[in-house]
Structure 1
């Protein structure tokens, strides 16, 4: 324990604040604290509108976090924050009813990233009722995911990790609108991108992206999902095979393009600094990525040394041309184009990557519905940088494409839109959502707070926020969800690991005041979400066996049986229906490799059958008309009952089969 840290009085607010301040003094001791009033580009990259310098700003954020950390245990330092204080919260009672009556359906699907759980959570909007969970990077017993041959082999081929940290779900698009075909999501922990088939709400492909350790930001190339892009956040040597491990200046961060159909990585671009989050323009040319650590350091002191960073604007057609012309190096079979500042590909009239100076450590990029502007949240600056994408393609100096920088509040992280000219930005330190006028922000002086129309308190420390269909060219604008990192005293205590708090806010087509209408605890840590109107999706209620024809068989009752395919290999085939397996029993030999193929021959929705074999780790969930296969070794002689794990009928408990394993000798 350091000299600045003491366990005594650890819940006393003043003590906590003092500890944070001392720690920050240590961290920032070598940081340049003089905030420049104007940089070489004439942009005035000071923390616009602030009287305090950057060190004081970071300290202010830490103090706010320290004070929040003591809520509920030190005399109620934070109040309920829902009382509607003047100028910050709307009056209650004007929003339409968000409760959906029993038997009625929600209007929107919401897809939440599950964070550390590795799953996608599907909620209805506006009720916020959880409809299902889609396992992606995790095994999951209720759906048998990771237990049948197909999904277990997919997980194994994608790195065979035991978990994933998914962050940013993206829906496939056609003509700039959601087409209901796929959802794509990243794994920050292990550098993967997965695809979820929205006909069956099931993960059908996972790509372990070469040459990167962490895929953080993801987006599809609008308007027609030509690529799925992933930002490789962590800088490593290239290739990362033991060379240059002690020379961080030779590390690099990679921007990857994945084909949405084959899920193969087509090419990558190396850049300076660390990549963070990305979004696509609406015309198929630009992908804008926030970035940090232009210093290319490996510790916090170095990463926070300078007073600005550089957002990266990737010119996709220009990169494709470089690949077509063979202007790349190949590493682990992937073409890698040089997009660093010093690259010859960035010295001509059309650089493949433009570097736009911004205040330090911008966290996120979101492109507004018209595709004209990209919004870059400041995080360490109380501003949002507005980048004109049309100007970006015209000016030689990319800094001249910055057309606005409104001051929105402390700790801006993410921005969303209502389609009526308004943007909404989450303020992590202020624990608020700020609503502001885009055109007014462009007209106003940089650093002005005048474009801010309204703020509403949220509980507490919001990260991502999303309005309905805000990432399309035609948002709905009725509801907004704030994904808050902390819940504090909002719910019953459940031990030291508390739930997050997803809050539903009515924004009323953007013309009315914002109104907080509901709290919903969320299991840690949902990171982001995306919404689609129910009319844009057409999920199947039973499987179509034509969709897996040639990949798996369909086993009828008459086809149920046992076939020995080798001296120690057996293929067991069985139909499944209510109360009955097609095989009442089957016999194999000790040490046999058993391939078990089962088809649910029911054609009625909602009748799922399970297949579990004790002591063999077999667990399948089979939907109507679906076939699942699992391969295992019957390594011990004995009798092993097979039972259905889904309560499917009045005779559910009697629904049995029996595997008899005879001694081999």
Structure 2
């Protein structure tokens, strides 16, 4: 394979230090005496890049001769559709961002752990109750959206995403692009990783990060040795926790083997500390390889403790279940503080990397249960650069890893890494600068058995000077990189600002999803109310139930009269059959705004505790007589 031309790496040495004396030994004329990459590394460590605005020669994108590198056509003309859906975490916003690729246009936001009035999410009875029953938290932090698979490929049914903040897992129905279930995970604080058992997504795993006493009910408050973290296995249909495994140390990210035998999670704080100094004493941590069949056999045999109504299996190192030749959890030592772990498309390797070591650890999955010393399962340790975090794949034998400190994505050869000496740089093919300090990255369909190998998104933690200034709260930067031409090399083609702080993503070809244009009433729990079937009935002394429809220009009732103190249950159906013709039921004085897509029925219940006249109106512009589409809610005062 020929070496792609890239200004970030020298073709002969395989390093990021230029060897051409004419290049002034890699020093930039704007900053004499400071190497470009060294400057970026320093900036990542101390945040000193604020003065770079306008210095385009430091930002990449140009070849050494000053010409712009050729990039594939990523434009999508008006009216045309993208080739891929990308599902990106919304971070503290608590939602999922849906992009089209390669345009990088944001085409939808799916509320998950947040209330969202435009979708009516958290305002109608169903979604409000779902959020309340899942802990009643006012915010969430989405991290790792993963799509359901069948036979190792995306099946277009569901997406799952974790709440890093509150120990929850949510399911998104991809027919309607809406959250339909949330699981509040007992015994777990901070659900960091979210992955599935493959090839058929018959379990969803929530990787618990923070160690706490079990149960966390006031016991062992000042005894960190008694704190534990757990892996939770969730049934994807019922969204109930089936079982958990308690382990030593904290856990971080996770990924499943492609054929369902293992689930892998990176582990840090093997010391069991509670502060930075205590958690960084040792020079090794581990990857935990969970033997799923053995864990389920232990559950079947009754080898568990029930804690907060969950079956908890003991996977700690000194557990009886980890003695002998058939342990339920393998602890595989790797360098300190590993972060990301992902399984290669061919299911041969699990690759882990960590913030504090410049190498990645290539774990041979077939060796895990064969070797006497777990360290012997690590068959490769290529040196990639500073701050390796996460790895994605193109299906052609290449891995792509983010380098947080170097502000780069590095492409490397997996088999070459297995054949090379440990800490060799020879498996590295090329590096590309990103802007700046990347965390996660995702290649198209990288989590499946057959990645597409064309587009990659680097989700960068900092944007600094890439966009118009908007005050101290800067956007982050999702950068689109073309990886489909091994000869030309990686090509950065587009920046896209992101509201802080997103994390991971999944990319799926559009042919594998079949979203609905309108709702199928049979998919909804609520009964459809057609024109002419509207009813308003007092069912108790203090309760009124209203069933009505909405259509262009009017509601089923022009006037609704209740008494002060009544509980009002209002169920409304949008009887439109034309796609994209939304209505809503907005009563601002009662904090109500319920969205109604065509053929959708929603219900909202409230207490009419304020006498007066309250206009009910449609908050979506739906026709020329949109402003006339209204009803009156009359609340008569108590006698």
Query: TM-score w.r.t. structure 1 length?
Result: 0.89
Equivalent residue number for residue 583 of structure 1: 557
Contact 1:71 1:78 in 2 (8 A): no
Q: 1:547 aligns with which of 515, 523, 526?
A: 523
Equivalent residue number for residue 442 of structure 1: 418
Corresponding position: 1:625 with 2:599: yes
Q: 2:435 aligns with which of 459, 475, 496?
A: 459
Contact 1:71 1:77 in 2 (8 A): no
Corresponding position: 1:496 with 2:472: yes
Q: 1:74, CA displacement in angstroms?
A: 7.3
Q: 1:556, CA displacement in angstroms?
A: 1.1
Question: Mean alpha-carbon deviation: is it higher for 614-623 or for 130-139?
Answer: 614-623
Within 5 Å, which residues of 2 pair with 1:345-360? 345-360=321-336
Q: Secondary structure at 1:390's aligned position in 2?
A: helix
Q: 1:75, CA displacement in angstroms?
A: 8.4
In structure 2, distance between residues paired with 1:529 and 1:90: 33
Q: 1:249 aligns with which of 225, 241, 254?
A: 225
Q: 1:121 aligns with which of 97, 104, 109?
A: 97
Corresponding position: 1:73 with 2:47: no
Contact 2:53 2:465 in 1 (8 A): no
Q: 1:560, CA displacement in angstroms?
A: 1.1
Contact 1:61 1:411 in 2 (8 A): no
Within 5 Å, which residues of 2 pair with 1:311-322? 311-322=287-298
Equivalent residue number for residue 274 of structure 1: 250
Within 5 Å, which residues of 2 pair with 1:360-379? 360-379=336-355
In structure 2, distance between residues paired with 1:525 and 1:174: 31
Q: 1:60, CA displacement in angstroms?
A: 11
Contact 1:319 1:337 in 2 (8 A): yes
Within 5 Å, which residues of 2 pair with 1:382-421? 382-421=358-397
Q: 1:321, CA displacement in angstroms?
A: 0.3
Contact 1:416 1:465 in 2 (8 A): yes
Q: 1:378, CA displacement in angstroms?
A: 2.4
Corresponding position: 1:156 with 2:156: no
The 3 A distance-change label for structure 1 pair 66 and 348 is closer
Q: 1:564 aligns with which of 535, 538, 554?
A: 538
In structure 2, distance between residues paired with 1:641 and 1:75: 51
Equivalent residue number for residue 402 of structure 2: 426
In structure 2, distance between residues paired with 1:609 and 1:354: 54
Q: 1:81, CA displacement in angstroms?
A: 2.1
Equivalent residue number for residue 176 of structure 1: 152
Structure 2 unaligned blocks of 5 or more? 1-37
Equivalent residue number for residue 183 of structure 2: 207
Query: TM-score w.r.t. structure 2 length?
Result: 0.92
Q: 1:91, CA displacement in angstroms?
A: 7.4
Q: Secondary structure at 1:214's aligned position in 2?
A: strand
Q: 1:240, CA displacement in angstroms?
A: 0.2
In structure 2, distance between residues paired with 1:152 and 1:446: 53
Give the paired residue count: 602
Q: 1:349, CA displacement in angstroms?
A: 1.2
Contact 1:416 1:423 in 2 (8 A): yes
In structure 2, distance between residues paired with 1:74 and 1:350: 56
In structure 1, distance between residues paired with 2:221 and 2:637: 55
In structure 1, distance between residues paired with 2:146 and 2:416: 30
Equivalent residue number for residue 239 of structure 1: 215
Q: Deviations over 1:235-255 (max 9, x none)?
A: 000000000010000000100
In structure 1, distance between residues paired with 2:452 and 2:607: 53
Q: Secondary structure at 2:321's aligned position in 1?
A: helix
Equivalent residue number for residue 471 of structure 1: 447
Q: 1:370, CA displacement in angstroms?
A: 0.5
Contact 2:52 2:465 in 1 (8 A): no
Q: Secondary structure at 2:126's aligned position in 1?
A: helix
In structure 2, distance between residues paired with 1:184 and 1:94: 37
Structure 1 unaligned blocks of 5 or more? 1-58
In structure 1, distance between residues paired with 2:338 and 2:66: 29
The 3 A distance-change label for structure 1 pair 520 and 76 is closer
Q: 1:93, CA displacement in angstroms?
A: 4.6
